[in-house]
Structure 1
Amino acid sequence: MADRDHAPLSIACVRALTDKQHDKRKAAASEIEKMVKEFAALNNTVQIRKLLRVLGTEFTMSQNPNFKKGGLMGLASVAIALGKDSAEYAEHLIRPILTNFSDNETKIRYFACEALYNVVKVTRGAVLPYFSEIFSGLSRLAADHDQGVKNASEHLDKLLKDIVTENATFDLVGFMPLLRERLYSKNTFARQYIISWVTVLDAVPDIQLILFLPELLDGLFDLLNDPNSRNLCGHVLSEFLRSINKDPSKVQFTQMINILINHSQSPDETLQMAALSWIKDFIHLSHEQMLPYTSGILSAILPCFAYESEAKRGIKDVAKAVNMNLMELINPKLDDEGQSDENHQRKPECDLDLSSVLDVLKKQLAHTSVNTKVASLTWLYHLHNSIPKRMLMQVDDLFPTLLHVLTDHSDEVVQHGLNVLAQIISPESEAGRVPVPDSPHHPYFENFLHSLIGLFREDRQLLEERGSFIIRQLCILLSAEDVYKSTAEIMRSEHDLKFARVMVDTLNTILLTSSELFQLRNILKNEENGKLFQCLYETWCHNPVATISLCLLTQNYEHTCELIMILANYEISVEFLAEVDRLIQLIESPIFIYLRLELLQVPHNYYLIRSMYGLLMLLPQSETFHLLRHRLECIPKLHFFHESRNRLKENESGNKYNLEFDTLRGHFTTIQDKHKL
């Protein structure tokens, strides 16, 4: 090959530089170094550039491995010879070497690392414009299968880190896209390499890496999935979180919260725990800035309430803490819908997206976990309590979901569902302030009772198994008198007679036995409440034994006698006898102690005695028959009271209420005739 082909290199130098033996190549490299120093002394930049072009194209780009090795050593020698002046030729020194980072031959990659190390060592800060290219190459070599290449790349990487940390001109903005991209590498070694760079950059006081955290956070959390990178990445994330807590003013919370929400739903426990911990601190530090993201946060934390295993207790505890902090952000100040006062206008970026929150809560109510459903219902209660005006606009959409909650298998879930419903339909609620024509109640109260009765009608098992619990809880949460009166008014027009009989039996049993209805029983015993009695009576007529018990409870004994005599005209069924049996058992309970004492009040107990004997005559001679008979044997004989009847005043009634009992008796007969058909 002619001398001019590789000028300014001599043929001998070229031959030595491309020799297989390392010592000969090394000698040629020394000759090149000497040559470049002479060129530099004469300021002969033309020859220097010509030499770089020869080495960078005809040698390092050659298909011959020995030419590549020689070219790499030659470029390193040029840089060493130029010293600080090599910065002027940085591009021609660096790029040919970087090309060989991806060479198929291990030795070539090794020599490329070694050559670039020598170049970077003398050029220092001049390599920064090419930092991204060098970084990309090193990130690939970090995963190299050859340990020698990896060791060489690590030496170069350490030098590069020193240069970056000491140089204020480092272009962090330009580097971010590349760093973000490399965070998603699938190779463990490449991941560890990237983490090491994040650690180094974060440690530099002059580099505010936290400002770029939104670009890096997703990739860093993704690295927690790798068991081999988990410890390193966990440490980096902990340091970032410590910095955030130290100076939250520089943190762009809203640009990162969705990333955290996404990772907090990961099946990986470590990743989930870390993300939830970050969310907890974000809420604590940024306050109302997190309000627009409430629905996403709830989607992440509510399923965690279902965790029961010891391994996930920590996650569950953090989720509860997040839930508490988030709930504290919901306050009456957010309930200023429609206010025109500028001082009350909310910033859109700090507002609560109520519709999306309710969508999440409704979805979580379908969860299999009792704890998750209870937490969701607690949220609904809190929202109604804190922002009732805004919640009022959502009631129609929410109502069917809450009704369905009443069919849940858990008493705790049903209880919380009733708490929310009571909050909506109570007179003190926003809905309660909406006037309803011709009704003392508000619309949702009536609508709810209609819907509840419809639910019981469609699902008789629900009525049988949960009806008593639901009605008793409603009477605790609301006015028992209002609940019973409104229910009776609705049931009065019930066409399903069999359902009406069962429903009245349920209501009556609760009325007679439940401690929650003690006050209502006392109200009914007051003779001033005849209208309430009549309202219940007209519906209670669907169940004759319930009607009799209502009359006994309210001390309308004369009418009780009349009803018992009327029943002689109807077929006595086994179901009827069973209900009479239960009534006798109730008469022996503390609820009717006043009635048993009235048996001693001569002569006013005439109709009561007749009623008791009438019930006795309806029963076959069973255990219950003898129970009542023994009770009646404890009082004077019936003929004594028959005589005392003559001493009663002619105008004295055996009923407590001053009502048209003839009309009531006619209504009772009409209803019984309908059931007979």
Structure 2
Amino acid sequence: MVKDFSATKNTLQITKLLKVLGQDFALSQNPNTRKGGLIGLAAIAVALGKESSLYIGDLIHPILACFADSDPLVRYYACESLYNVSKVARGSVLVHFTDIFSVLSKLAADPDQKVRSGSEHLDKLMKDIVTESASFDLVGLMPHLRKKIYSNNTFARQFIISWVSVLDAVPDIDLIIFLPEILDGLFRILEDPNKEIQKMCDTVLNEFLRSIKKDPSRVKFDEMINILITHSQSPDELLQFTAITWIKEFVQLSGRKMLPFASGILTAVLPCLSYDTDSRRNIKETAKAVNFTFMKLVTEGDDKETFPVEVVGDVMEEEQLDLPSLVDVLTKHLHHTSVATKVSVLRWIYHLYIKIPTKMFPYIEKLFPELRRALSDSSDEVVQQDLEVLAEIISSPSITSSSDDADSENQLPANSHGMNPYFSKFVISLLKLFSSDRHLLEDRGSFIIRQLCILLNSEDIYTTLSMILKTEENVKFASIMVENLNTILLTSSELFDLRMKLKDMNTEVRSKLFTFK
């Protein structure tokens, strides 16, 4: 009958028949009648063949309504009916794809096994149709995909991952530009306890990363980096390793565009440097690679006011460090329990004072107390690195004293080598530290003094120490310090040149080396 109507172009009769089956039968109160209506709609589509595309709305809408039916058998028949309609109509059903996708995502987690089985066949057919389609409304799908990707149901997650994989594989679909909208959801799925789901998600993420590395120009790095930073702190090892790996690639591919995110990136990688178990070795090595590469991005050019990248519209983008946030992160991690993390932090501070001393000057008062505290660290490596930072700060000609720092108690006459005012401030604070912590003086005093004499001018160190000790009120402490300084001077290889100078007392300069009026 339907074939006859179609042959004679009797659209009115076909429409009437669809209305009867769709409204009176498929939406009936009787479950059996609903099943009959669904079978009838599928039969009409088969009879119409390619002509079914002309009536696709009347065919699909009643079927979609039946997917919400409380009777699992009705839902199953709806799967079969939509399958047959879609098999005939093919690409014509894509105009209703978002509704079909929404239904499929729910059916994937249906409590009835038979319904799930029916939906799997329908799902496979829809993937084939999308793959072969020349035009697909990805923009319209994204809100649904973005919402469904946060499902905690294992079957729903499997469904979402399979669709993301299919869409990404379609040559005419550029899913990369929409990746920022679904990346967080993908990383959440990656920590699913189901190993099969993990493996599927890991494969999809690896495919995305390969595409990113192949053509970075179309990737919105800035919209995804904070997602990676968040997941890099996950206790799940696979999730954390994947996030750190992505950060590494982002830093290598986008370079200085990552500078504004420095504090977040270092928050992600610095704690990872402390890992010492085999299971987290890959995470640690990847974090070290990120840290090394990222540090090289900070150059002398960053000490200027701006470092423009490009003009986007009317907005000038700049590759600049957010120094306040970065210094906060470094200060926080200087209190970390790991030697490797603390050493890395100190190397970062040293690097910043080498490359951008002018911009780092305002943070001296914030960092100085933390650096002095680090001298009491139990690790020789930390103390040595800390001394290198302090030596750079107190010897840098780029650092000058501000009016707020004019503290007469902490200021001494300028030394012969033109050290900045923080030189005397540091030496004074070091002696105070030794005075208050005699264990530090006994255990590390000689080591610290000798290292300072390597890093700085030994004559300046001894001259300044002598000037301060001359006015020291605690005579006992002063005598202990003098004894220690004499022992270091007479025995350590680091003070060889200074010993040679002291032997030559013929000139007025040499004879007054430690003589003050």
**What TM-score do the two structures reach when normalised by structure 2?**
0.91
The answer for the alignment partner of 2:426 in structure 1 is: 448
Q: Is the 8 A contact 1:337 1:389 kept in 2?
A: no
Pair 1:167-2:133 in alignment = yes
Pair 1:45-2:20 in alignment = no
- The structural deviation recorded for 1:432 is 6.7
Q: Is the 8 A contact 1:489 1:535 kept in 2?
A: no
Q: Is the 8 A contact 1:304 1:315 kept in 2?
A: yes
Pair 1:513-2:491 in alignment = yes
CA distance in 1: counterparts of 2:128 and 2:196, whole angstroms: 26
CA distance in 2: counterparts of 1:304 and 1:124, whole angstroms: 51
Gaps of 5+ in 2: 404-410
- The structural deviation recorded for 1:66 is 0.9
Pair 1:92-2:58 in alignment = yes
Comparing 410-419 with 140-149, which one deviates more in the overlay?
Answer: 140-149
The answer for the alignment partner of 2:114 in structure 1 is: 148
1:484-523 mapped onto 2 (5 Å cutoff): 484-523=462-501
1:213-612 mapped onto 2 (5 Å cutoff): 213-226=179-192, 227-337=195-305, 348-426=317-395, 428-431=396-399, 438-440=413-415, 441-528=419-506, 536=514
User: RMSD between aligned alpha carbons?
Assistant: 2.5
The answer for the alignment partner of 1:110 in structure 2 is: 76
CA distance in 1: counterparts of 2:126 and 2:57, whole angstroms: 16
* SS of residue in 2 equivalent to 1:81: helix
The answer for the alignment partner of 1:82 in structure 2 is: 48
* SS of residue in 2 equivalent to 1:170: coil
Comparing 404-413 with 66-75, which one deviates more in the overlay?
Answer: 66-75
CA distance in 1: counterparts of 2:325 and 2:247, whole angstroms: 19
CA distance in 1: counterparts of 2:382 and 2:338, whole angstroms: 10
Q: Deviations over 1:111-135 (max 9, x none)?
A: 0100111111222222112111111
1:594-633 mapped onto 2 (5 Å cutoff): none
Pair 1:68-2:46 in alignment = no
CA distance in 1: counterparts of 2:317 and 2:460, whole angstroms: 42
CA distance in 1: counterparts of 2:497 and 2:507, whole angstroms: 13
Pair 1:202-2:168 in alignment = yes
- The structural deviation recorded for 1:197 is 1.0
- The structural deviation recorded for 1:49 is 3.1
- The structural deviation recorded for 1:89 is 2.4
What residue identity is the alignment partner of 1:390?
A: K
CA distance in 1: counterparts of 2:251 and 2:473, whole angstroms: 55
Q: Is the 8 A contact 2:42 2:85 kept in 1?
A: yes
CA distance in 2: counterparts of 1:97 and 1:136, whole angstroms: 13
Of 133, 139, 142, the match for 2:105: 139
What residue identity is the alignment partner of 1:170?
A: F
- The structural deviation recorded for 1:254 is 1.4
CA distance in 2: counterparts of 1:229 and 1:529, whole angstroms: 82
Q: Deviations over 1:590-623 (max 9, x none)?
A: xxxxxxxxxxxxxxxxxxxxxxxxxxxxxxxxxx
- The structural deviation recorded for 1:67 is 1.6
The answer for the alignment partner of 1:670 in structure 2 is: none
- The structural deviation recorded for 1:376 is 0.8
- The structural deviation recorded for 1:306 is 0.4
Q: Is the 8 A contact 2:307 2:319 kept in 1?
A: no
In 2 relative to 1, CA 339–114 (structure 1 residues): closer, same or farther, beyond 3 Å? Answer: closer
What residue identity is the alignment partner of 1:451?
A: S
Comparing 487-496 with 399-408, which one deviates more in the overlay?
Answer: 487-496
- The structural deviation recorded for 1:171 is 0.5
CA distance in 1: counterparts of 2:9 and 2:66, whole angstroms: 30
Q: Is the 8 A contact 1:434 1:442 kept in 2?
A: no
In 2 relative to 1, CA 247–59 (structure 1 residues): closer, same or farther, beyond 3 Å? Answer: same
Q: Is the 8 A contact 1:61 1:96 kept in 2?
A: yes
Q: Is the 8 A contact 1:488 1:535 kept in 2?
A: no
Gaps of 5+ in 1: 1-33, 539-663, 665-677
Q: Is the 8 A contact 1:425 1:432 kept in 2?
A: no
In 2 relative to 1, CA 98–338 (structure 1 residues): closer, same or farther, beyond 3 Å? Answer: closer
In 2 relative to 1, CA 338–66 (structure 1 residues): closer, same or farther, beyond 3 Å? Answer: closer
What residue identity is the alignment partner of 1:459?
A: D
Q: Is the 8 A contact 2:263 2:326 kept in 1?
A: yes
CA distance in 2: counterparts of 1:374 and 1:382, whole angstroms: 12
- The structural deviation recorded for 1:394 is 2.2
The answer for the alignment partner of 2:407 in structure 1 is: none
- The structural deviation recorded for 1:456 is 1.9
- The structural deviation recorded for 1:138 is 0.8
Q: Deviations over 1:193-223 (max 9, x none)?
A: 1111111111111111112111121111221
- The structural deviation recorded for 1:416 is 0.2
The structure with more radius of gyration? 1
Q: Deviations over 1:633-653 (max 9, x none)?
A: xxxxxxxxxxxxxxxxxxxxx
The answer for the alignment partner of 1:656 in structure 2 is: none
Q: Deviations over 1:553-595 (max 9, x none)?
A: xxxxxxxxxxxxxxxxxxxxxxxxxxxxxxxxxxxxxxxxxxx
Q: Deviations over 1:230-263 (max 9, x none)?
A: 1111111111111111111111111111111111
Pair 1:122-2:88 in alignment = yes
* SS of residue in 2 equivalent to 1:256: helix
What residue identity is the alignment partner of 1:178?
A: H
Q: Is the 8 A contact 2:307 2:318 kept in 1?
A: no
* SS of residue in 1 equivalent to 2:321: coil
CA distance in 2: counterparts of 1:495 and 1:530, whole angstroms: 29
* SS of residue in 1 equivalent to 2:29: coil
Q: Is the 8 A contact 1:423 1:429 kept in 2?
A: no
- The structural deviation recorded for 1:163 is 1.5
* SS of residue in 2 equivalent to 1:394: helix
In 2 relative to 1, CA 351–89 (structure 1 residues): closer, same or farther, beyond 3 Å? Answer: same
- The structural deviation recorded for 1:437 is 9.4
Q: Is the 8 A contact 1:392 1:431 kept in 2?
A: yes
Q: Is the 8 A contact 2:108 2:156 kept in 1?
A: yes
Q: Is the 8 A contact 2:504 2:510 kept in 1?
A: no
CA distance in 2: counterparts of 1:283 and 1:200, whole angstroms: 28
Higher relative contact order (CA 8 A, sep 6+): 2
CA distance in 2: counterparts of 1:530 and 1:69, whole angstroms: 113
Q: Is the 8 A contact 1:418 1:474 kept in 2?
A: yes
What residue identity is the alignment partner of 1:185?
A: S
**What TM-score do the two structures reach when normalised by structure 1?**
0.70
In 2 relative to 1, CA 399–529 (structure 1 residues): closer, same or farther, beyond 3 Å? Answer: farther
What residue identity is the alignment partner of 2:127?
A: K
What residue identity is the alignment partner of 2:21?
A: L
